[in-house]
Structures are given as structure tokens and as C-alpha cells.
Amino acid sequence: MKPKVYITRKIPNEALEKIKETCEVTMWNEEDQPVPREVLKKEIVDVDGIYCLLTESIDEELLSLAKNLKVISNMAVGYNNIDVQAATEKGVMVTNTPGVLTETTADLTFALLMATARRLIESSDYLRDGKWQTWSPMQLTGQDIYGATLGNIGLGRIGEAVARRANGFGMNVLYHNRSRKIEAEQEFDLTFVDKETLLKESDYVVVLTPYSPETHNLIDTLELELMKNTAVLINTSRGGIVNEDALYQALKEEKIWAAGLDVFEDEPVSLDHPLLTLPNVVVLPHIGSASKKTRTKMANMAAEHLLHALQGKKPTYLVNE
């Protein structure tokens, strides 16, 4: 008998066909809308595998309903949407998709940094809104990138890839991480500092750490107070790492200069969110890894992990080893 698999969103065909070769597949086919929880609660009961996205919360309640589940394959590197401990206790494997999205996410992080520093979105709107009457000395002036100090909060794969880009832009790069990474320090000319020093000295603070209870609101009022009033905060990791109310206050009171956000605590972010009222905030709809090649690779990798787990092999990226 073929193993049963539930896929929580329409995924690229290549990945879908691969899974269909050996599994009985049910896929939530509603065009680009997350599967309702009530549907997922029913579907999880009998399946051997779940292929999901970061939009699904696979928590203890949901897991308690599963009778045959062996694997949850998440099409994302972040897996804060899954209760890994509950899955482990139930003997369910959890997999993610690191590596394939590193460079694409680092590109977006840098693009967001540049767009925020040089006010690209605001400038484009300025022109389109017919406000461009003349060239003038201080019109739409931003912050320099060349020669500035970048502070990476977190130095995983994406952190290193961002540091490499910063090297090319002639930036001085600081980082703070749970542990020092001596090889990376040498390769990318990085300086390890404590969090306080990083916040005080950086012109760009880039949040690149995974989201967990320990990193919830890691950037809060106190941290924002430490930053320069010319500093820019960039977050392409997870929204909950930054306290959004504190960030709004800091931006409004000009304690920091600007922010670039690809992620929000609640996604999609409400159009009434106070942060969206500020001109010095560049916002994006969680598109860090959104290149055609990378999303296809992520989809294929998640399919491969799912199939390996169902065939009794160890998936390459198993979160709960």
C-alpha cells in the first residue's frame, strides 16, 4: 500500500509528480490560500506524511490527532511553525530546507538594506506622485553603505552570505552569535562583539537569527535605545524577533533612522499596522527566498526529505536528530 501524504498548498509540479510516483497524495488546492485548520485537523489523522509551509502551525493539538504520521516536511529553513518537541515525543521526523535558499535570502537582505538606506521606494513614489520639481542638494538624501559598519545578529549560513556581500561594499562587519566562528571571522574579516557593542556601533543592524522562545523580542525598547539615531534595522528572519511596538516608537521618536522589514509578527501584516504609516519603513511580504530557482529547489528538497523519511531512510536535513 502506498503511504498517504497531505500537501498543504499547491506546490511546483516537479515536486508534486515526484511524490505522486510512490505516494497517495491529497493536496489543498485552493489557489494560494492556507489550508483551514479544521481541514488540516481532519487530514492529519490518517496520513503518513505532511508536506507543509511556514503558514501552517503544526502544534501539539494537531499532532495529538495523528495516528500514522512519520514525517513533517517543511518547505522552509525556519521551522518555528512546528512544535518540534511534540513531534519528537511522538516519533515524528521534522525536516527543513537549509542551504538552497542562502544566497537568494542574502541577496534580498542586501537589497532591502540598500533600498532602506537610500530611500528607494520613497524616491520612486516621489517621482510617480509628481513631486519631482527640481534637483536639490539635500533632496531624498539617505545613509552611506560604503565604509559603514554592519552588525549581524546571528551568523548562520545566511549571516555569512550577508557578510560576504558587505565585504564587497567596503563595510566593516561585526557579528554577535551564540558561539564564535573563527573560520568565518578570518574569511570575511568579521569582529565578534557582545550584543550591546554591536547595537551601539553598527550603522546597520541585521537580524538573521532563527526564531525561538529565546529570540522572541530580542530587539526591544532597550536594544533600540542603544542604537545610533542614524542606524537602520533590517529584519529578514522572523517578525517576532523584533518587538514591533517598540520599533514603531523608536522610529517615530527618531531614536533610529529607518527600518527594512521582510517579516512581521503576524503575516500577512494588517494594512492598519502603525509601522506601515511611517515613510522611513520599507516593507516587503516575506520574499527573502522568492526567486524562481530557489523556490523550486526548496520544493524539490522538501519532497525528497518526505520521500526519504517514508522509505525509512534518514533525510539529509532532519531537525530532530
Question: Site residues (CB under 6 A) for ligand DGY?
Answer: 54, 76-78, 101, 288-289
Rounded Cα distance between 242 and 228, Å, is: 17
- Residue 143 or residue 291: which is nearer to ligand DGY going by CB? 291
- Residue 100 or residue 250: which is nearer to ligand DGY going by CB? 100
Q: Catalytic site residue 286?
A: yes
Q: In what order do the strands lie in the sheet with 71-74?
A: 24-27, 4-7, 49-52, 71-74, 93-95
**Nearest C-alpha neighbor of 158 from the set 215, 231, 76, 232:** 76
The length of the chain in residues reads: 321
**Nearest C-alpha neighbor of 303 from the set 35, 97, 93:** 97
Query: Who's near 277: CB < 8 A, 6+ residues apart?
Result: none
3-state secondary structure 201-247: HCCEEEECCCCCHHHCCCECHHHHHHCCCCCEEEECCCHHHECHHHH
Q: Shortest distance, CB of residue 158 to ligand DGY, whole angstroms?
A: 9
- Residue 208 or residue 259: which is nearer to ligand DGY going by CB? 208
- Residue 140 or residue 319: which is nearer to ligand DGY going by CB? 319
- Residue 140 or residue 283: which is nearer to ligand DGY going by CB? 283
Rounded Cα distance between 231 and 244, Å, is: 17
- Residue 227 or residue 263: which is nearer to ligand DGY going by CB? 263
- Residue 142 or residue 239: which is nearer to ligand DGY going by CB? 239
Rounded Cα distance between 98 and 289, Å, is: 11
* Residue 138 grid coordinates: 539635500
3-state secondary structure 96-124: CCCCCCHHHHHHHHHHHHHHHHCCHHHHH
Q: Shortest distance, CB of residue 252 to ligand DGY, whole angstroms?
A: 27
Rounded Cα distance between 312 and 26, Å, is: 21
| Candidate list 238, 295, 305, 308, residue with the active-site label | 238
Q: Shortest distance, CB of residue 258 to ligand DGY, whole angstroms?
A: 22
Q: Catalytic site residue 178?
A: no
Q: Shortest distance, CB of residue 94 to ligand DGY, whole angstroms?
A: 13
Rounded Cα distance between 130 and 318, Å, is: 53
DSSP state of 176: E
Distance of CA 172 to the CA centre of its chain: 24
Q: Catalytic site residue 238?
A: yes
Q: Shortest distance, CB of residue 54 to ligand DGY, whole angstroms?
A: 6
Query: Who's near 124: CB < 8 A, 6+ residues apart?
Result: none
Q: Shortest distance, CB of residue 306 to ligand DGY, whole angstroms?
A: 16
Q: Shortest distance, CB of residue 227 to ligand DGY, whole angstroms?
A: 24
| Candidate list 165, 176, 286, 308, residue with the active-site label | 286
Catalytic annotation, residues? 238, 267, 286
